[in-house]
Homo-oligomer: A and B are copies of this chain.
Amino acid sequence: MAFSERVSRLKSSLIREILAAAQRPGVMSFAGGLPAEAMLPKVEWTDMPLSVGQYGMSEGEPALREALAAEARALGVPCEASQVLVVSGSQQTLDLAAKLYIDKDTEILLEAPTYLAALQIFQLFGANCITVPQEADGPNLVQLRSRLEKHKPAFIYLIPTFQNPSAVRYSEAKRDAVAALLDEFGVTLIEDEPYRELTFDGGSATPIVSRLNKASWIYTGTVSKTLLPGLRVGYLIASPDLFPHLLRLKQSADLHTNRIGQWQALQWIGTEKYQQHLGELRDFYRVRRDAFQSGLEMHFSDLAEWNVPQGGLFFWLTLKQPLDTRTLLKAALAADVAFMPGEPFFPEPDKNPGHLRLNFSHIDPARLDEGLKRLATVVRQAQAAEAA
């Protein structure tokens, strides 16, 4: 059996295994990142023309590209529809970017922690992952400059708005500072924003790509967190120097994104109806966030520290007595509670113990308190066993 060299880096996905276990009836899951079923909008299909069943353009549907470009311009991103590529969910942006940039040992720059599935595909292609520590308002700027002085990364990958997993939202000052540094060092920015619209305090800082003057960039988003993930419709917007390469890579990956989902997304993007739905989503998730915060205060105050997320879908807990949280999984699942260990969100998991990512959007509120109580018990017992 002669597989490619990269397959030796194809890890078993811990997420897959945890999510599979979390599907078991009776399990209270804080593990996934699924939108709440109750908030999936009712969508209509009756007006969809049969012609969308035919092959389409690799770029995506022209009207959808126009609508996405208009939305991005409203956020300050300087772009035309010709820079928009519709992708099969924003995960595909990461696949295309990996193909565009990463050979074996190519240096790239990431936040620590960063999005697990991004880390997986960048590592699959052989990236040498350099990291910058994440702080409450964005990356440590001294260390970012130091990394840029010492390395020549092919790109930097950032999730500046309600990052998965840390829930961090970059401050205005750090957005400006990061943009200035990337311009200074000429490093391409990949900015991933699945959670932008899920803001609970009304904050809406403009994307970092809109603050760049020289550096190349890819901005990527999705309708998965705000409309229907099952459509598998995301998009990227790229600086004109990168777009033609990304388009060809998209074509060779899957010809084009399904047109059924694109048509449905177009019924929403830029409409009053979508704004109303987003408002309802924010209200719904804010209530769940608040309830989760109360539950955490009750059960985790002595065990962990955390910041209250102002958006997104996750709490990121830091244990006061660090331990490898992957070792908690077995006991947690035995107690019918699932969570996501923090270690896999770092390129060097073993050096970064003691974090838990907890999803607050999906759990049945009636079981929230019991779930957190059981999880706290699992942590307490493990720490007692370590101390013994």
Contacts and interface: CB of A to CB of B under 8 A. Distances in A.
B254 A3 contact: no
Nearest to A44: B45
Contact of A232 (B100, B228, B257): B257
Given A230-B53, A230-B56, A88 B254 contact: yes
B260 A89 contact: no
A106 interface: yes
Contact of A3 (B53, B91, B100): B100
Interface stretch (A117-125, A302-310, A317-325, A332-340): A117-125
Contacts of A216: 1
B91 A154 contact: no
Most buried by B among A50, A125, A258: A258
Contacts of A220: none
A103 B58 contact: no
Interface in A1-51: 1-7, 10-13, 16, 32, 34-35, 37, 40, 42-43, 45-46, 48, 50-51
Interface stretch (A65-73, A163-171, A205-213, A241-249): A241-249
Contacts of A230: 52-56, 258-260
A249 B54 contact: no
Nearest to A53: B228
Given A253-B95, A254-B92, A256-B232, A245 B53 contact: no
A102 interface: yes
Contact of A7 (B6, B100, B120, B254): B100
Contacts of A32: 55
A87 B251 CA distance: 15
A99 B260 contact: no
B229 A55 contact: yes
A34 B13 contact: no
A45 B103 CA distance: 44
B120 A252 contact: yes
A273 interface: no
Contacts of A253: 91-92, 95, 121, 253
15 contacts: A2-B101, A2-B152, A3-B154, A4-B101, A4-B103, A4-B106, A12-B248, A35-B54, A53-B229, A55-B229, A95-B252, A121-B253, A231-B259, A231-B260, A232-B254
Interface of A: 1-7, 10-13, 16, 32, 34-35, 37, 40, 42-43, 45-46, 48, 50-56, 58, 87-89, 91-92, 95, 99-103, 106, 117, 120-121, 124-125, 152, 154, 216, 224, 227-233, 241, 245, 248-249, 251-261, 264
Q: What are the nearest 9 A-B pairs in CB distance?
A: A53-B228, A45-B45, A230-B259, A232-B258, A53-B230, A88-B254, A121-B252, A55-B229, A258-B258
